[in-house]
Chain A
Amino acid sequence: MSANLRFRNPELAQNIAKKIREVAPKKGQVKICHVCGTHEWTITHFGLRSLLPENVEVIAGPGCPVCIVPAAEIDEAVLLAKQGQVITCFGDLLRVPGSESSLLEAKAAGADVRIVYALSDAVEMAKKEPEKDFVFHAVGFETTAPITAVEALGDLPKNFSFLVSHRLIPPAMELLLGVGDLEIDGFLAPGHVSAIIGLKPYELFTRVYRMPTVVAGFEPNDVLMAIYMVVKQHSENDAKLENEYSRVVKPEGNKKAQEMIEKAFEVVAGNWRGIGRLPDSALQLRESLAQYDARKKYGVKVEQGKDILLGCECHLVIIGKIKPKECPMFLKACTPAKPVGACMVSSEGTCRVWAKNVAANSP
């Protein structure tokens, strides 16, 4: 069997699940937190929670980069769109609610908002239409930030700029450890963020917080194996940093990508939807690239937005405090077709992932 198929082999999955049952403690809960929308997708889509012993729980932290963009930054994009700039973005962002309007609603009202598959497509559009001003709303964690850096440091046309909403994952993980009654016992670290940043940024969690931390890939057996590694460490009262996803994640990460990020951005405090302001958790284009910073170029800065609508519990879902089905609106007032909160909008949002596969997470 090819390597690829082995990572999805159901028999292997059953064997790993058996191993997890063997190492799981006889008493007490083990709560493992992941911080990646694609991990939640794998876990839910393949029904992995049903393979775990009752006292091993996997919760979803703030791993959806679209969901955590604060309303104020959507408001900035909407404002720019209404001023006549062409807003380009990935499709997921379109329906994310701002304080008053989403980009989709702005588009319906006549603004020029365009979905692109890759940032380079947006740059090409700007070159072809020099009479218009283009803004790319750059959303994403460390996986996506180097892409913005490549273009910002490259040969950009004058009519192109970025509305940067990039965020960094380790500060969000650290925040979760401070949430009193969350009581996390271990982390699954996100594989593709780690492909860029490497292992070092997670040392804090093992050293200072004594948190078993395992970098995990995205095939079902990757995730199960990483869960096994965390549970085993927990049972042995160990706190190590392990790399389950070594076929992609090198200990040093992607040096070239790190250099690009460092060259293009400075690390600043940033607001996260449903969480609030986290120090050293956001990226901002350096002064030398100010001409490509849409906020500076067009003098747009929205300080405060309306992140969570009344009744919506996205803020609790985002930090893993409640499961989507514990929100009274879930699949009632809030559905994939008519989402209320950001977690139901993005295909990586926890509520959206659960809505698409309700049965997988039922007890």
Chain B
Amino acid sequence: MLMCLAIPAKILSLQGEKAQVDFGQGVLRDVNVSLVEAKLGDYVLVHAGYAIQILEEKEALETLSLWNDVLASTGE
């Protein structure tokens, strides 16, 4: 496994510090969520079985719109 790799997954159910998450394509796993304040339905970044951060969809879209601005500016 890659030690700085972290994969996004969606929280399906929560029970204390444990959550069942969906990595997509039917891959479900229990992960530890004690390092984040995650809610049901949140996307979290999972590293070695532990959620280390919550993914912000709003930020993702803003990043892309920022890129579009940069790319739209004409090059000299």
Contact = CB atoms under 8 A, between A and B. Distances in A.
A308 B75 CA distance: 48
Interface residues of A, number: 55
A147 interface: yes
Interface stretch (A254-262, A298-306, A312-320, A334-342): A254-262
Contact of B1 (A91, A150, A244): A91
Nearest to A91: B1
Contacts of A119: 48-50
A88 B48 CA distance: 14
Contact of A246 (B47, B59, B76): B59
Interface stretch (A10-18, A48-56, A202-210): A10-18
A348 B3 CA distance: 7
Interface string B1-42: 111111000000000000000000000000110111100000
Interface size bucket, B side?
20 to 34
B4 to A, nearest CB: 5
A22 B76 contact: yes
Interface string B45-76: 10111101101110111111001001100011
Contacts of B70: 19, 225, 228
Contacts of B4: 36-38, 63, 65, 140-141, 143, 190, 192-193, 348
Contacts of A140: 3-4, 48
The 10 closest A-B pairs by CB, nearest first: A118-B49, A247-B59, A22-B75, A247-B60, A3-B60, A195-B53, A147-B50, A65-B3, A257-B35, A38-B4
